[in-house]
Amino acid sequence: MWRWRVCPVAVSRGYMPFCTTQEPHQANPSRTSQATHRPVTPLTLCSLLEMGFSETQAEEMHEGAMKSRGKHVPSVLTALLILGLNPSSILKIMQKCPEVYSLKGADLQQRINHLRKMGLVEGSLQRMISHYPKVMVLPIKRVNMVSRLLREKCLFTVQQVTDILRESPEVLEEDLAQLEYKFQYAYFRMGVRQAEMVKTKLFGLSLSELRCRHCFLERRGLYQTPDKKGQTLIANPPLKDVLCVSEETYLTQVAIATVEEFHVFHKLMAREQEEEGREDEYSSDEDEELGEDKYNDDDDGQHRRKHLWNTGYKKDRK
Digit-coded pLDDT (tens) for 3-57: 444 444 434 444 344 443 444 444 444 433 333 344 445 689 999 999 999 999 9
pLDDT, residue 95, reads: 94
Residue 305 binned pLDDT confidence (cut-offs 50, 70, 90) = very low
Q: Model-level pTM? A: 0.74
Given a cut of 70, is residue 199 above it in pLDDT?
yes
Give yes or no for residue 186 having a pLDDT over 90.
yes
What does the pLDDT look like over 87-117, one tens digit per residue? Answer: 999 999 999 999 999 999 999 999 999 999 9
- Percentage of the residues of the chain whose pLDDT score is greater than 70: 75
Higher pLDDT, 116 or 305: 116
- pLDDT given for residue 278 in this prediction: 77
| pLDDT in the model for residue 43 | 86
Q: What whole-number distance in Å separates Cα of residue 292 and Cα of residue 82? A: 59
**Lowest mean pLDDT across 1-10, 48-57, 144-153, 271-280:** 1-10
Contacts of 250 (CB under 8 A, 6+ apart): 213, 241, 242
Give CA–CA dist 164/157, Å, rounded.
Answer: 11
What percent of the chain is predicted at pLDDT more than 90?
Answer: 67
Burial class (CB in 10 A: 0-12, 13-18, 19+), 250: buried
- Strand-strand pairing, 38-39 and 14-24: antiparallel
pLDDT band with cut points at 50, 70 and 90 for residue 283: low
CA distance 122 to 106: 19
Query: If pLDDT is split at 50, 70 and 90, which confidence band does 200 have?
Result: very high
**Backbone dihedral angles phi then psi of residue 283, each to the nearest 5 degrees:** -60, -40
pLDDT band at 217 (very low <50, low <70, confident <90, very high): very high
The pLDDT value recorded for residue 100 is: 95
Quote the pLDDT of residue 273: 82
- pLDDT value, residue 8: 42
Please check the confidence at residue 128 and state whether its pLDDT lies above 60.
yes
Label residue 137 by pLDDT band (50, 70, 90): very high
- Helices 140-148, 158-167: axis angle to 10 degrees equals 120
The whole-chain average pLDDT of the chain stands at: 81
What is the pLDDT at residue 6?
A: 42
Using pLDDT thresholds of 50, 70 and 90, give the confidence band for residue 286. low
For residue 2, the cross-strand partners are 24
How far is the CA of 138 from the CAs of 169, 172, 266, in angstroms? 11, 8, 33
Q: How confident is the model at residue 275, as a pLDDT?
A: 85
Tell me how far apart the alpha carbons of residues 188 and 316 are, in angstroms, rounded to a whole number. Answer: 14
Q: Helices 176-184 and 207-219, interaxial angle, to 10°?
A: 20
Give the pLDDT confidence score for residue 25 in this predicted structure.
41
Q: List 38's β-bridge partners, or say none.
A: 22
Residue partners of 4: CB distance under 8 A and separation at least 6? 20, 21, 22
Widest distance between CA atoms in the chain: 83
* pLDDT for residue 285: 61
